[in-house]
Structure 1
Amino acid sequence: MAINQARLWRRLHELSQFGKQTSGGVTRFSFTKEERQAKDLVMTYMKEAGMTVREDAAGNVIGRKEGTKEVVPAVLIGSHIDSVPEGGVFDGPLGVLAGIEVVQAMSEANVETVHPVEVIAFTDEEGSRFGLGMIGSRALAGTLLPEQLQQIDQNGITIAVAMQEAGLHPNEINKAARQPETVKAYVELHIEQGKVLERAGQPAGIVTGIAGPLWTRWTIEGEAGHAGATPMNQRKDSLMTSLQIIQYIEEETKKYTNAVATVGQISVKPGGVNVIPGETTFTLDLRDIEERDRDHIEEAITSYAYSLCADREMSITIEELQRVAPAPCSNEIRAVMEEACRELEIEPMSLPSGAGHDGMQFNDFCPIGMVFVRSKDGISHNPDEWSSEEDCGTGAAILYETVLHLAT
């Protein structure tokens, strides 16, 4: 195996020191001192791998190894180094550092490629600070809108101001955009963040597609009233109605193989222990790798909710927060990854990604492909997140063979 597994492992843990918490987890938000320190270390690794290094207008760190021909599109390897609060060591950084390891292994073996290879550490994939994820990959794909830079963090600081404080120029964000003809393909290595590979006894797997999230906020308005003086058949209880809708969401989503639905936030007004809830608000995160199936679920639950509220003489408002199209992975790149698995004597296994990744921003831009590495107990976004050194090395080896094929 050309990959230096020990070096990759060492770098993972060196990088984890920036933003390290007493819990053992990592908190590293975008445009902070901790992220700057992490970026500087990543740039050092890229230079050690023989790449030329730059930081673009969005703060993306980009290392480039030239190919043997000029003016040909590059193969991109990407992921991120920002984290959620108290996140793990592997989510994001593994993909960036494995990409650097791929290039360094090629350089040490004097392997040349026709196409250039670029490794990118994208800005703010997680969205933990501003509630807008994939800032860097959106910018590179040319889909980041100027008004999105006005989103604020919990201290009221906008993305634009945070960029300025980090030495960037938000009014020049369009300079980060790439033209499609400059990119041949995008590939990414990531931990699975689930239990599918672990239960199958597989160290790594090939992603079939990335589920597209649909985020909505639902507000059900009934009528507040005295908890003791209002008979059950005279109530307009917004919470009880919301709970019926939420139960229907679960039942409907279970009809589809790859769909998942999560009600992650719920609030009740007035909020008194002896007051019937007059208004209930909850969020819905609905995902599927098939947009058609996701739309069918959305239509079914919306129709049910409006009918239920009409029967109970309540009002309903549904606000769309985010709608991202699912991103199918390229069949051609998947075939290359399957062959790479066979060369490493690993049975190719395919699985969908329920979590979002930077690669989905390039779905209409270039062919994309992803490799997942087994996660212990499926834990992620948690200090206990863990993938073994051997599995990380195996995933990097699959990435190496894939990039070598695509760039040659």
Structure 2
Amino acid sequence: MTGTPEQVDYQQLAAEIMERCEVLGRISADPDHLVRVHLTAEHKIAANQVEEWMKRAGLQTWTDAAGNVCGRNEFGRGSAPALLLGSHIDTVPDAGKYDGPLGVLLAIAVAELINNSGSGLDVPLELVAFSDEEGTRFGNGLSGSYALAGAFEPAWWDYTDADGITFRQAAIDYGLDPDKVNEAARRADELVGYLEAHIEQGPLLEDADLALGVVSSIATGTRHTVTITGQAGHAGGTPYDRRHDALVGASELVVGIEQICSTGGTIGTVGRLQVYPGGVNVIPGRVEFSLDLRAETSPQREAALAEIEAAAAEIAGHRGLGWEIEQFYTSHETACAPWLQGAIAAGIRATGQSEAPMIWSRAGHDGMAIDKITDIAMLFIRCAGGISHAPQESVTVEDVALALEAYEEAVRRSAAAAVAR
């Protein structure tokens, strides 16, 4: 990737970015489905490829103690605090090619454009390809970015994957030293801010016929295990008026969750449901299902949970069932910094897009962790149908070209603004 600001062919560079997405999309544990999870052989192959592209962009590179691939160009500024760009390279099972990797590759392209322009930046530029945003393998999402933010939880080392391998053992097998993970931590005085480009993972930009948007905040979210307890019994021998069918009660509650959340601005999803004892001729005695709640603010989410709990109590009462909702994960809303939002909005307008709409992110992102040590902001890119976490995930080369142009301008403006602050 070459060119000066006067002669940059963003379309051509976008085509190269798309081809790089294809290259990463072929690095998978499954030849038929994209699966690339934390600390696997596929992860290492992808990390090595990303590091090579960072080097071509003029960056000094290293892999930190959490497995994040990092790069830095000081532009003669020495050890001054840097502007950090990043996203992740791990995937969910049967993933699309753009969730995470597109943001990493856009950051690399921006770094190369600035390096080749000869003008540099007013602050050093750093890049990071986070090792584990999705949490697919060990269930602890954002572990790479939490490590960089100095908030890695030692208890995570005991988490196991589906094969019983601990996080600690996987790190050792990968070539990392778990006892040195704190060396990945960055201090607040080492950074001036963090920017990330990411597909929207929703349909709002497409519905508005716009390519790019500015993230206002990242959603607050909680995850729960819901247990409905009834009485197992013979499918043929138990009359309806004596049944305490946990599955029927759970089903009623799942429908109630949809009704509560669809009218209240909170997003509620039941993604997994297990029925016990599971016989075709046995009335279900117990049901467990997952509940994922997301909202723009914590009060909205908490209000929805209170309604769901009231619905569970009502359903259990008239069906003679027990119920419990246990929370096992929480993340608080993360507001993006206005001064960085302004830089991204200016970058969007520089492409000729007259509007720079504000969108709150319904999905979680690495910025939620990085916000612990520096200001953050995000650029959203339109994706077809709003589809993500699926092979149908799709972006156009034209939108990627606009994103690259906007991102470069946002980086330049952010660097200048950081010096002026």
For 1:31 and 1:202, the matched residues in 2 are separated by 37
1:165-224 CA distance string (max 9 Å, x none): 011001111111111121211111111222221222111111122112211001111111
TM-aligned CA deviation for residue 8 of structure 1 = 2.2
Residue 281 of structure 1 aligns to which amino acid in structure 2? E
* Partners of 1:8 and 1:393 within 8 A in 2: no
TM-aligned CA deviation for residue 21 of structure 1 = 5.0
Q: 1:20 to 1:400 in 2, by over 3 A?
A: farther
Residue 48 of structure 2 aligns to which amino acid in structure 1? D
SS in 2 for 1:255: helix
For 2:251 and 2:269, the matched residues in 1 are separated by 13
Establish whether residue 301 from structure 1 lines up as the match of residue 290 from structure 2.
no
Alignment length (residue pairs): 406
SS in 2 for 1:64: strand
Q: Pick from 9, 12, 20 the counterpart of residue 11 of structure 1.
A: 20
1:114-137 CA distance string (max 9 Å, x none): 211111000111112112211100
**Residue 278 (structure 1) aligns with:** 285
1:272-329 CA distance string (max 9 Å, x none): 2232211111110010121110011112212332344245443222222211112122
Establish whether residue 185 from structure 1 lines up as the match of residue 193 from structure 2.
yes
Percent of residue pairs bearing the same amino acid type: 37
Establish whether residue 155 from structure 1 lines up as the match of residue 163 from structure 2.
yes
SS in 2 for 1:254: helix
Q: Pick from 243, 248, 255 the counterpart of residue 247 of structure 1.
A: 255
Q: Pick from 27, 35, 44 the counterpart of residue 52 of structure 2.
A: 44
Residue 117 of structure 2 aligns to which amino acid in structure 1? A
1:223-263 CA distance string (max 9 Å, x none): 11222332322221111221222222111112223x21101
TM-aligned CA deviation for residue 71 of structure 1 = 4.4
Establish whether residue 331 from structure 1 lines up as the match of residue 309 from structure 2.
no
Q: 1:314 to 1:10 in 2, by over 3 A?
A: closer
**Residue 288 (structure 1) aligns with:** 295
TM-aligned CA deviation for residue 382 of structure 1 = 2.2
**Residue 202 (structure 2) aligns with:** 194
SS in 2 for 1:72: coil
Establish whether residue 84 from structure 1 lines up as the match of residue 92 from structure 2.
yes
Residue 340 of structure 1 aligns to which amino acid in structure 2? G
* Partners of 2:343 and 2:411 within 8 A in 1: no
Establish whether residue 100 from structure 1 lines up as the match of residue 111 from structure 2.
no
Q: Pick from 327, 333, 349 the counterpart of residue 320 of structure 1.
A: 327
For 2:15 and 2:325, the matched residues in 1 are separated by 50
TM-aligned CA deviation for residue 49 of structure 1 = 0.9
Establish whether residue 343 from structure 1 lines up as the match of residue 350 from structure 2.
yes
Deviates more, 1:188-197 or 1:99-108: 188-197
SS in 1 for 2:360: strand
For 1:270 and 1:156, the matched residues in 2 are separated by 24
For 1:365 and 1:32, the matched residues in 2 are separated by 28
For 1:289 and 1:138, the matched residues in 2 are separated by 22
For 2:26 and 2:197, the matched residues in 1 are separated by 21
For 1:20 and 1:305, the matched residues in 2 are separated by 41
Q: Pick from 19, 28, 35 the counterpart of residue 27 of structure 1.
A: 35
TM-aligned CA deviation for residue 70 of structure 1 = 4.1
For 1:103 and 1:329, the matched residues in 2 are separated by 22
Residue 115 of structure 2 aligns to which amino acid in structure 1? S
Deviates more, 1:307-316 or 1:134-143: 307-316
Establish whether residue 377 from structure 1 lines up as the match of residue 385 from structure 2.
yes
Q: 1:404 to 1:308 in 2, by over 3 A?
A: same
TM-aligned CA deviation for residue 341 of structure 1 = 1.4
For 2:258 and 2:394, the matched residues in 1 are separated by 29
Q: Pick from 137, 140, 143 the counterpart of residue 132 of structure 1.
A: 140
TM-aligned CA deviation for residue 99 of structure 1 = 0.5
For 1:71 and 1:63, the matched residues in 2 are separated by 14
**Residue 266 (structure 1) aligns with:** 273
1:356-381 CA distance string (max 9 Å, x none): 11111123322111111111222222
Residue 298 of structure 1 aligns to which amino acid in structure 2? L
* Partners of 2:221 and 2:301 within 8 A in 1: no
Q: TM-score, normalised by structure 1?
A: 0.95
Q: Gaps (5+ residues) in structure 1?
A: none
For 2:108 and 2:361, the matched residues in 1 are separated by 23
What root-mean-square deviation, in Å, do the aligned CA atoms of Structure 1 and Structure 2 show? Answer: 1.8
* Partners of 1:263 and 1:282 within 8 A in 2: yes
* Partners of 1:289 and 1:327 within 8 A in 2: no
Deviates more, 1:164-173 or 1:336-345: 336-345
